[in-house]
Amino acid sequence: MIILLLVVFMIGTFFGFMFIKNTIAHWLVGGISFLLLAGSVAMLTMHIKDNWGMKEVTTSSTHQIYTAGDKTAPYGMMIKAEIGKNTDNYVLVYRNSEKAEKADTNFKPNQKNIVEAVKKSATYKLVDDTKATVTTKTTRRVWSSDFYKLLFSVGGEQNELVKQQSVVSVPKDTWLVLTQDQVKKLSQEAPAMQKQMEAQLKADPQKAAQLAALQKSNPTEYAKMQVKQIKQLLGITE
């Protein structure tokens, strides 16, 4: 619509100043058309530069996530890979559904749409909770009113992504957040650690019975114990 108005006011300005001989009509038609043309150019410039006529709307969603590791393990696991260096922006691997057979790779940038990819970020934080969740806040631009939509819309601007920020909240005592190298080290060290544990329990039947009882009566405490042992094995201090 604004383009059509620019053309109309441009023609009006040209016609008024070039072809109307009557002085009053000459300045009236030409002057008003010129002012309207200048105003239209100013509004279009403001829209292009500052998104005038649009507003930002933010929505938020949260859902529970599940371990990327063995589903029978008492503790949860998430695998992280930082995008760049010291960016606090990650690709994170976990299951979005409890029934999923394989873990999902989340927040991997879309190489085919870099413009939108740079507007998205994901990080994680360790929390004092028992469930892992991901909260995503999405900000998009929408038209402030139907008038601005009619005036400026040329397609593709409605619901334009401004930014999308995702934060995964991970239980600090019952989940592990590991890099791929740490996962590899754990898989290499786990059999030896398991054998050592079995030998200790075999030598101390009373302790074995206590651990078995703890696993059934208080799975959370049992998970905390295993997470603590694995962190010590991998040298994790966070």
Per-residue pLDDT 10s for the chain (238 aa) are 888 888 888 888 888 888 888 888 878 888 898 899 999 899 889 988 888 899 999 999 999 999 999 998 999 999 999 999 999 999 999 999 999 999 999 999 998 899 989 999 999 999 999 999 999 999 999 999 988 888 888 767 888 999 999 999 999 999 999 999 999 998 887 777 667 666 665 666 666 676 667 667 777 888 888 898 889 888 887 7
Residue type, 186: L
Tokens 């109307």, residue located: 20
DSSP 101: S
Residue type, 217: S
Residue 157 sits at φ, ψ, to 5 deg, of -90, -30
Q: Which two tokens stand for residue 222?
A: 């049992």
Question: What whole-number distance in Å separates Cα of residue 87 and Cα of residue 93?
Answer: 18
Is-contact 217 120, C-beta < 8 A?
Answer: no
Length of the chain equals 238
Would you kindly state where each structural domain of the chain is located, as residue ranges? 2-50, 56-175, 180-234
Rounded to the nearest 10°, the torsion over CA 66, 70, 75, 80 is -60
Q: What global pTM score does this model have?
A: 0.80
Residue 11 CB partners (closer than 8 Å, separation 6+): 33
